[in-house]
Amino acid sequence: MDIKKIPSDKIYDELENVLKFYSFKNSTLLSNFLRYIVTETIDERQQFIKEYSIAVNALSRPSHFNPHDDAMVRIHAGRLRKLLHEYYSTDGKDNPLIIHVPKGGYVPEFIHNNKMRATDLHVSTNKTNPVITVFPFKTIAHRPDLEAFSQILSEEISAELSRFQDISVIGHFPSDVISKINENVLEAANLIGADFIITGHIQIIDNKLQIRINLINSSSGKFIMTKLFTPATLDDGIRLQNDIVKDIVSTMGGYYGIIFNEMVRTAPSKISNNTGILRAICSYHEYQRSYSIENFAKALSNLNEAVELDPNHAIAWAMLGEMHLASMALGLDNCKKTVEKSSHCVTKALNIDPNCQQAWYALAIINCFKKDQDNCLSAAEQCLKINPNSSGIASGIGCVLIFAGYFEKGFNLLENTIRINPSHPWWINVGYCYYYIHKKEYQKSLYWAEKMDFSETIWDPLLKAVSLSLLSEDAKAKVYLNNLLELQPQTAGEIKETLSSFMFSDEIVFRIINSLKRIGLKNDF
């Protein structure tokens, strides 16, 4: 767009119009973001509009800010686009000029309203995602410090939830919704099409600070979760805010969080009647929660159908790539080309969305299968940077790092993640067992093997047999070995091939195979 076609004073006037919009007035951060990129573009310094310059010059980040380590600019850019869409859909719909920030960059475009296509402005409120609204937290005591903390806390929860690609977040509201919030939060949520409400209050009782945060199902009014935080003071407000946000967001967001589980449990028709994407994502989630041959096959089939229906859906491609690898890890597929097939899916996902966390997650697993330790760690670190609060993915990354030989790094990540949100993929137990076999703490390995309880997968009887054999409880171990062979007749060589396909340590694989051979597994090598 050649801005010389539109006088700069007209662009500045439009910028001021936008910044008077209630949502921008409520967010100094996004106002500064927009003002900076518009001014730089008018002054023909578009080449300097980069993540680093935005962070330092507009968002008050320190000079040592590293965009590779911090996705803050990308997150707030997404929020900025949503607010611009909201403005031009309401108060600014008849403005002669439109400020537009295309996806994939930060340089704004200035376009005459009659030339702007609806598809250019459209920001999807894709109902394949549950929609969450974060209503302002009430402050019972009228104190400026509490009111400021309340506003920042609700903004930070909105921003961090926005990192999840599987949910949509609304954190700014027109005046009619704000007045409705004070009357009836359920009706207010209805006005904006929100499935769930996050709300709460901050108060002082007997000189003690209380911060209450609630999650409510907007259709039923049911409280799904409520948490009470009782810090001594607000003196260390940033640390307190970070602790609360991490606790809340890790518990609520992602496929293993409360929000998604509640949607699956209470709105099955929304899933079954939906087009392929939501159905595929939910079947993937069900496979991760509870393994069975049926759940695996359904997830694989639905994801194949989903990418045919919507070939530009990055998450579906990434999940499909991961499921291909799972077929190898489960001993269902030993074709060498399966890793290539998975790589093809993940490459497509990253081409569609370079910041797709699910794709970086799958890429870490691919590199684990390729025995590329350095790139496995690199992909894992990039995955976590995109959204460290996605507890299900973080626990999976911890497990992958253990398989890749980063034992303590992976174990610490697993422990920290599961402490915040105990929900995790079923196969995390394999990672724990592998770690404790590495440490020669076989009683703990048995503990995690017994927690698995998924009789249709080879990993359940295999790890129980291994752990019991290493504890010299041979009679019990042989029962599970027999269960394994009944489930899927295998030799030592076949099991070794499955283990070695993604477990880096030859010494641990050797110890596992020897423990099975000692109790009767047929030796064919």
Six token digits for residue 93: 């719909």
The answer to whether the beta carbons of residues 160 and 389 sit under 8 Å apart is: yes
The answer to whether the beta carbons of residues 357 and 386 sit under 8 Å apart is: yes
**Max CA pair span of the chain:** 85
Six token digits for residue 193: 């099409």
CA distances from 74 to 54, 382, 390 (A): 10, 14, 17
Rounded CA-CA distance 212/152 in Å is 15
Looking at residue 368, its pLDDT comes to 94
The answer to whether the beta carbons of residues 469 and 477 sit under 8 Å apart is: yes
CA distances from 319 to 159, 239, 303 (A): 24, 35, 7
CA distances from 224 to 69, 84, 112, 165, 439 (A): 33, 32, 46, 21, 39
- Beta strand 208-217 with 223-229 is antiparallel
Q: Is 317 exposed, middle or buried (0-12, 13-18, 19+ CB in 10 A)?
A: buried
Complete DSSP assignment for 217-249: ETTT--EEEEEEE--S-STTHHHHHHHHHHHHH
**Could you give phi then psi for residue 382, rounded to 5 degrees?**
-65, -40
> pLDDT 10s per residue in the chain (525 long)?
444 468 888 899 999 999 988 788 878 889 999 999 999 999 888 888 988 999 999 988 888 888 777 778 888 888 888 889 888 888 888 888 999 888 778 999 888 875 444 334 333 334 557 889 998 888 877 778 788 888 888 888 888 888 887 778 887 777 777 778 878 888 888 888 888 999 988 888 777 788 999 999 988 889 999 999 988 776 766 788 888 888 888 888 877 788 877 876 765 555 444 557 778 888 888 888 788 888 899 999 999 998 988 888 889 999 999 999 988 888 777 677 889 999 999 999 999 888 899 999 999 999 999 999 999 999 999 999 998 888 889 999 999 999 999 999 999 999 999 888 887 788 899 999 999 999 999 999 999 999 988 878 889 999 999 999 999 999 999 999 999 998 888 778 888 988 998 999 999 999 999 999 999 888 765
Looking at residue 300, its pLDDT comes to 92
Looking at residue 114, its pLDDT comes to 57
For 523, which DSSP code?
A: P
The answer to whether the beta carbons of residues 100 and 120 sit under 8 Å apart is: yes
Place of tokens 């330790």: 373
- For the chain, the first-to-last Cα distance in angstroms comes to 68
DSSP, collapsed to helix, strand or coil, labels residue 46 as helix
The answer to whether the beta carbons of residues 307 and 313 sit under 8 Å apart is: yes
Please report, to the nearest 10 degrees, the dihedral formed by the alpha carbons of residues 59, 134, 160, 195 taken in order.
-140
Complete DSSP assignment for 97-120: EEEE--TT----EEEEGGG--HHH
What pTM, to 2 d.p., does this model score? 0.69
Six token digits for residue 460: 């359940």
Looking at residue 266, its pLDDT comes to 67
Rounded CA-CA distance 50/420 in Å is 34
